[in-house]
């Protein structure tokens, strides 16, 4: 059982409401805690610290990765004025982060998994271990700039819409991701797209009730029975 939220991007209210909602359940955040275009850096910092002090399972998004030492890449929204502060917190807590997490038959990542991985393996627990082990290998060797594996990289910047349009999104696993913003969550049997950064809602997926819920309004989205 778990409650899963998409991109937060320094939204302090959303963070506090998420942390306080059904606190006895496992909470999972899909990354992108920083780099808001509307929230002040101080609020984003408070948001990050609240998450660090919580028991939430924290996945890394691309907007955390580009503040790390020896970053994979840099993305729009990078805050050079506060980069050192963000980096210090992230690096001090680097072991708190995962890049993938399996729960109740779902694979959670920041941006989603391409079918090239699931063609060979469709056990979401095995896939999560594969991505996390690749990330650990990268961390071990990044100082020498020897990337032991690139397996993990697409899950930070994968645009699921391109693969939906090309019928290339995996159909043999169920996955939940954020990264690509929508006005409302997209809820399909094979995937849930949970990035609603600039919407008025605080959308989460409840694995026990098998529905997507706006904590603010109480609105629910259920899977299409077809």
Please answer whether residues 197 and 181 qualify as being in contact, where contact means their C-beta atoms are separated by less than 8 angstroms: yes
CA–CA distance, 204 with 211 (Å, rounded to integer): 8
pLDDT digits (tens, 9 = 90+) for 206-224: 999 999 999 999 999 987 6
Indicate the helix (H) or strand (E) that contains 41: helix 41-53
CA–CA distance, 213 with 113 (Å, rounded to integer): 24
**Whole-model pTM above 0.85?**
yes
71-106 core/surface letters (b: 16 or more CB in 10 A; e: else): ebeebeeebeebeeebbebbeeeeeebbbbbbbeeb
**CATH class of the structural domain 2-222:** alpha beta
In this predicted structure, the answer to whether residue 38 has a pLDDT above a threshold of 90 is: no
Q: How many CA atoms lie within 13 A of 20 on its CB side?
A: 9
The percentage of the chain sitting over the pLDDT mark of 70, rounded to a whole number, equals 94
CA 44 distance to own-chain centroid: 16
pLDDT digits (tens, 9 = 90+) for 138-185: 888 777 755 545 555 678 888 888 888 877 788 999 999 999 999 999
């Amino acid at each position: 059982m778990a409650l899963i939220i998409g991109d937060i991007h320094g939204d302090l209210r959303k963070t506090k409401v998420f942390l306080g909602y059904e606190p006895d359940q496992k909470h999972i955040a899909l990354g992108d805690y920083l780099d808001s275009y509307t929230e002040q850096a101080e609020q984003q910092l408070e948001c990050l610290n609240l998450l660090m002090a919580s028991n939430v399972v924290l996945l890394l998004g691309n907007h955390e990765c580009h503040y790390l030492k020896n970053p994979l890449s840099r993305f729009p929204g990078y805050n050079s004025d506060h980069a050192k502060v963000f980096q210090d917190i992230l690096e001090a807590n680097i072991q708190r982060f995962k890049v993938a997490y399996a729960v109740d038959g779902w694979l959670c990542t920041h941006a989603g998994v391409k079918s090239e991985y699931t063609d060979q393996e469709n056990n979401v627990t095995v896939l999560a271990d594969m991505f996390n082990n690749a990330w650990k290998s990268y961390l071990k060797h990044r100082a020498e700039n020897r990337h032991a594996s690139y397996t993990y990289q697409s899950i930070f910047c994968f645009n699921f819409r391109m693969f939906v349009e090309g019928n290339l999104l995996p159909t043999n696993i169920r996955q939940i991701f954020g990264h690509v913003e929508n006005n409302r969550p997209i809820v399909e049997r094979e995937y849930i797209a949970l990035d609603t950064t600039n919407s008025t809602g605080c959308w989460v997926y409840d694995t026990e009730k098998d529905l997507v819920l706006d904590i603010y309004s109480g609105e629910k989205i259920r899977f299409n029975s077809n």
